[in-house]
Amino acid sequence: MIEIKDLHKKFGKNEVLSGVNLSVDRGKIIAVLGPNGSGKTTLIKSILGMVVPNKGEILLDGKSVLGKWKYRESIDYLPQIANFPHNLTVKELIRMIKDLRKQKNVDDNALIKLFKLEPFLGKKLGNLSGGTKQKVNILLTFMFESPLIILDEPTSGLDPISLIRLKELIYSEKEKGKTILITSHIMSFVEEVSEEIVFLLEGKIYFKGSIAELKDKTGQPDFEHAIASILTQSYA
Protein backbone atom coordinates (compact mmCIF):
# COMPACT_ATOMS: atom_id res chain seq x y z
CA MET A 1 0.00 0.00 0.00
CA ILE A 2 2.83 2.41 0.91
CA GLU A 3 6.13 2.38 -0.96
CA ILE A 4 8.93 4.74 0.04
CA LYS A 5 12.02 4.90 -2.14
CA ASP A 6 15.34 6.55 -1.28
CA LEU A 7 13.78 9.28 0.83
CA HIS A 8 16.04 12.13 1.96
CA LYS A 9 15.24 15.18 4.04
CA LYS A 10 17.47 17.91 5.42
CA PHE A 11 16.64 20.78 7.73
CA GLY A 12 19.53 23.15 7.13
CA LYS A 13 22.67 21.03 7.52
CA ASN A 14 20.90 18.41 9.60
CA GLU A 15 20.07 15.33 7.52
CA VAL A 16 17.02 13.84 9.21
CA LEU A 17 16.20 11.15 6.63
CA SER A 18 19.04 9.51 4.75
CA GLY A 19 17.90 7.18 1.97
CA VAL A 20 14.88 5.55 3.63
CA ASN A 21 13.36 2.62 1.74
CA LEU A 22 10.19 1.12 3.15
CA SER A 23 7.29 -1.02 1.97
CA VAL A 24 4.09 -1.35 4.02
CA ASP A 25 1.51 -3.96 3.04
CA ARG A 26 -2.21 -3.31 3.14
CA GLY A 27 -4.04 -4.49 6.25
CA LYS A 28 -1.02 -4.44 8.58
CA ILE A 29 -0.46 -2.75 11.93
CA ILE A 30 3.05 -1.29 11.82
CA ALA A 31 4.81 0.56 14.65
CA VAL A 32 7.39 3.17 13.62
CA LEU A 33 9.89 3.47 16.45
CA GLY A 34 13.14 5.24 17.18
CA PRO A 35 14.80 7.61 19.65
CA ASN A 36 14.20 11.35 19.56
CA GLY A 37 15.78 12.80 16.43
CA SER A 38 15.76 9.48 14.57
CA GLY A 39 13.50 10.82 11.80
CA LYS A 40 10.26 8.99 12.56
CA THR A 41 8.17 12.16 12.85
CA THR A 42 9.66 13.52 9.62
CA LEU A 43 8.89 10.22 7.89
CA ILE A 44 5.26 10.28 9.04
CA LYS A 45 4.84 13.93 8.07
CA SER A 46 6.36 13.22 4.64
CA ILE A 47 3.69 10.55 4.07
CA LEU A 48 1.06 13.07 5.14
CA GLY A 49 2.43 15.77 2.84
CA MET A 50 3.28 18.03 5.79
CA VAL A 51 7.01 17.79 4.99
CA VAL A 52 8.43 17.95 1.47
CA PRO A 53 11.44 15.63 1.05
CA ASN A 54 14.58 16.79 -0.75
CA LYS A 55 14.87 13.55 -2.69
CA GLY A 56 13.02 10.29 -3.14
CA GLU A 57 9.55 9.03 -3.83
CA ILE A 58 6.43 8.15 -1.83
CA LEU A 59 3.83 5.94 -3.48
CA LEU A 60 0.35 5.24 -2.15
CA ASP A 61 -1.36 2.37 -3.97
CA GLY A 62 1.24 2.70 -6.72
CA LYS A 63 0.72 6.43 -7.29
CA SER A 64 3.20 9.15 -6.32
CA VAL A 65 1.85 11.55 -3.69
CA LEU A 66 4.58 14.19 -3.84
CA GLY A 67 3.24 17.60 -4.75
CA LYS A 68 -0.36 16.36 -4.52
CA TRP A 69 -3.08 16.69 -1.89
CA LYS A 70 -6.14 14.72 -2.97
CA TYR A 71 -4.69 11.46 -1.62
CA ARG A 72 -4.93 12.83 1.94
CA GLU A 73 -8.67 12.11 1.84
CA SER A 74 -7.74 8.42 2.13
CA ILE A 75 -5.79 8.98 5.39
CA ASP A 76 -7.07 9.44 8.92
CA TYR A 77 -4.44 11.07 11.14
CA LEU A 78 -4.27 11.37 14.91
CA PRO A 79 -1.67 14.01 15.84
CA GLN A 80 0.33 13.72 19.05
CA ILE A 81 -0.93 17.09 20.26
CA ALA A 82 -4.50 18.06 19.40
CA ASN A 83 -4.66 21.84 19.06
CA PHE A 84 -8.41 22.27 19.11
CA PRO A 85 -10.11 25.71 19.02
CA HIS A 86 -10.74 26.42 22.71
CA ASN A 87 -14.00 28.30 22.13
CA LEU A 88 -15.76 25.45 20.29
CA THR A 89 -17.78 22.77 22.03
CA VAL A 90 -17.07 19.10 21.35
CA LYS A 91 -20.33 18.82 19.38
CA GLU A 92 -19.44 21.87 17.26
CA LEU A 93 -15.98 20.48 16.50
CA ILE A 94 -17.38 17.12 15.40
CA ARG A 95 -19.88 18.86 13.12
CA MET A 96 -17.15 21.09 11.66
CA ILE A 97 -14.82 18.16 10.89
CA LYS A 98 -17.69 16.21 9.29
CA ASP A 99 -18.50 19.22 7.09
CA LEU A 100 -14.84 19.58 6.07
CA ARG A 101 -14.34 15.91 5.23
CA LYS A 102 -17.68 15.53 3.42
CA GLN A 103 -17.65 11.75 3.79
CA LYS A 104 -20.86 9.76 3.99
CA ASN A 105 -21.60 7.01 6.51
CA VAL A 106 -19.75 8.77 9.34
CA ASP A 107 -20.35 6.89 12.61
CA ASP A 108 -19.48 9.29 15.41
CA ASN A 109 -22.30 8.18 17.73
CA ALA A 110 -20.82 4.72 18.34
CA LEU A 111 -17.47 6.27 19.26
CA ILE A 112 -19.11 8.84 21.52
CA LYS A 113 -20.72 5.96 23.43
CA LEU A 114 -17.54 3.85 23.39
CA PHE A 115 -15.46 6.57 25.07
CA LYS A 116 -18.33 7.86 27.26
CA LEU A 117 -18.19 11.37 25.76
CA GLU A 118 -21.91 12.17 26.07
CA PRO A 119 -21.47 14.46 29.14
CA PHE A 120 -18.83 16.52 27.31
CA LEU A 121 -20.58 17.22 24.00
CA GLY A 122 -21.80 20.64 25.09
CA LYS A 123 -18.57 21.63 26.86
CA LYS A 124 -15.94 23.89 25.33
CA LEU A 125 -12.72 22.19 24.32
CA GLY A 126 -10.62 24.67 26.28
CA ASN A 127 -12.22 23.42 29.51
CA LEU A 128 -11.55 19.72 28.95
CA SER A 129 -8.83 17.64 30.60
CA GLY A 130 -5.97 16.28 28.52
CA GLY A 131 -7.37 12.76 28.63
CA THR A 132 -10.80 13.85 27.43
CA LYS A 133 -9.24 15.87 24.61
CA GLN A 134 -7.38 12.73 23.57
CA LYS A 135 -10.64 10.77 23.46
CA VAL A 136 -12.09 13.49 21.19
CA ASN A 137 -8.91 13.25 19.11
CA ILE A 138 -9.43 9.49 18.74
CA LEU A 139 -13.11 9.96 17.85
CA LEU A 140 -12.25 12.43 15.06
CA THR A 141 -9.68 9.99 13.67
CA PHE A 142 -11.74 6.81 13.70
CA MET A 143 -15.18 8.10 12.73
CA PHE A 144 -14.28 8.05 9.02
CA GLU A 145 -13.71 5.04 6.78
CA SER A 146 -10.29 5.71 5.26
CA PRO A 147 -8.00 2.81 4.26
CA LEU A 148 -4.91 4.25 6.01
CA ILE A 149 -4.79 5.36 9.65
CA ILE A 150 -1.74 7.09 11.18
CA LEU A 151 -1.63 7.35 14.98
CA ASP A 152 1.04 9.52 16.63
CA GLU A 153 1.34 8.64 20.34
CA PRO A 154 -2.35 7.60 20.58
CA THR A 155 -2.19 6.47 24.23
CA SER A 156 -1.25 9.90 25.60
CA GLY A 157 -3.38 10.81 28.64
CA LEU A 158 -5.70 7.80 28.40
CA ASP A 159 -7.01 6.02 31.48
CA PRO A 160 -6.74 2.19 31.57
CA ILE A 161 -10.32 1.58 30.39
CA SER A 162 -9.98 3.99 27.46
CA LEU A 163 -6.68 2.35 26.55
CA ILE A 164 -8.40 -1.03 26.35
CA ARG A 165 -11.11 0.47 24.13
CA LEU A 166 -8.48 2.05 21.89
CA LYS A 167 -6.76 -1.31 21.40
CA GLU A 168 -10.09 -2.98 20.59
CA LEU A 169 -10.80 -0.19 18.10
CA ILE A 170 -7.44 -0.68 16.40
CA TYR A 171 -8.06 -4.43 16.10
CA SER A 172 -11.54 -3.88 14.65
CA GLU A 173 -10.21 -1.44 12.04
CA LYS A 174 -7.55 -3.95 11.03
CA GLU A 175 -10.29 -6.54 10.55
CA LYS A 176 -11.79 -4.18 7.96
CA GLY A 177 -8.55 -4.42 5.98
CA LYS A 178 -7.19 -1.03 6.98
CA THR A 179 -3.49 -0.25 7.27
CA ILE A 180 -2.44 1.33 10.56
CA LEU A 181 0.84 3.12 11.30
CA ILE A 182 1.59 3.86 14.95
CA THR A 183 4.32 5.81 16.72
CA SER A 184 4.58 5.31 20.47
CA HIS A 185 7.07 5.38 23.33
CA ILE A 186 4.97 2.86 25.29
CA MET A 187 6.66 -0.43 24.45
CA SER A 188 4.01 -2.62 26.12
CA PHE A 189 1.35 -1.04 23.88
CA VAL A 190 3.51 -1.49 20.77
CA GLU A 191 4.21 -5.11 21.63
CA GLU A 192 0.53 -5.86 22.13
CA VAL A 193 -0.95 -4.25 19.00
CA SER A 194 1.72 -4.24 16.29
CA GLU A 195 2.43 -7.01 13.79
CA GLU A 196 5.70 -5.50 12.63
CA ILE A 197 7.99 -2.73 13.74
CA VAL A 198 10.15 -0.33 11.79
CA PHE A 199 13.04 1.02 13.86
CA LEU A 200 14.68 4.22 12.65
CA LEU A 201 18.14 5.25 13.76
CA GLU A 202 19.96 8.38 12.57
CA GLY A 203 17.64 8.79 9.60
CA LYS A 204 17.93 5.21 8.34
CA ILE A 205 15.96 2.03 8.88
CA TYR A 206 17.93 -0.11 11.32
CA PHE A 207 15.35 -2.90 11.47
CA LYS A 208 12.04 -3.97 9.93
CA GLY A 209 10.27 -7.13 10.99
CA SER A 210 8.42 -8.82 13.83
CA ILE A 211 9.22 -8.36 17.50
CA ALA A 212 10.32 -12.02 17.66
CA GLU A 213 12.79 -11.35 14.85
CA LEU A 214 14.10 -8.28 16.67
CA LYS A 215 14.70 -10.31 19.83
CA ASP A 216 16.60 -12.90 17.78
CA LYS A 217 18.67 -10.16 16.11
CA THR A 218 19.65 -8.53 19.40
CA GLY A 219 19.87 -11.73 21.44
CA GLN A 220 17.57 -10.27 24.10
CA PRO A 221 14.84 -12.11 26.02
CA ASP A 222 12.12 -9.48 25.72
CA PHE A 223 11.06 -6.52 23.58
CA GLU A 224 12.09 -3.73 25.96
CA HIS A 225 15.59 -5.14 26.36
CA ALA A 226 15.87 -5.57 22.59
CA ILE A 227 15.07 -1.87 22.09
CA ALA A 228 17.43 -0.91 24.90
CA SER A 229 20.17 -2.97 23.27
CA ILE A 230 19.83 -1.02 20.02
CA LEU A 231 19.91 2.32 21.84
CA THR A 232 22.89 1.30 23.96
CA GLN A 233 24.85 0.38 20.84
CA SER A 234 23.90 3.64 19.10
CA TYR A 235 25.03 5.80 22.04
CA ALA A 236 28.22 3.81 22.70
The string of DSSP codes covering 106-135 is --HHHHHHHTT-GGGTTSBGGGS-HHHHHH
- State the average pLDDT over residues 49-55: 94
Segment 12-25 shows an average pLDDT of 95
Domain residues of the chain, as ranges? Answer: 2-235
pLDDT-derived band at 234 (thresholds 50, 70, 90) equals low
Query: Angle 180-186-191 (CA atoms, 0-180°, nearest 5)?
Result: 60
Residue type (1 letter), 105: N
**Domain 2-235 annotated CATH 3.40.640.10:** no
Asked if residue 135 has pLDDT above 90, the reply is yes
Tell me what pLDDT residue 70 has. 87
- pLDDT > 60? residue 236: no
DSSP letter at 72? G
Predicted local distance difference test score (pLDDT) of residue 125: 96
Q: For position 148, what pLDDT does the model report?
A: 96
| 179, β-bridge pairs | 148
Predicted pLDDT of residue 104 = 67
pTM of the model: 0.93
At 173-225, the pLDDT tens digits run 999 999 999 999 999 999 999 999 999 999 999 999 999 999 999 999 999 99
Separation CA 184–CA 194 (nearest Å): 11
3-state secondary structure of 94: helix
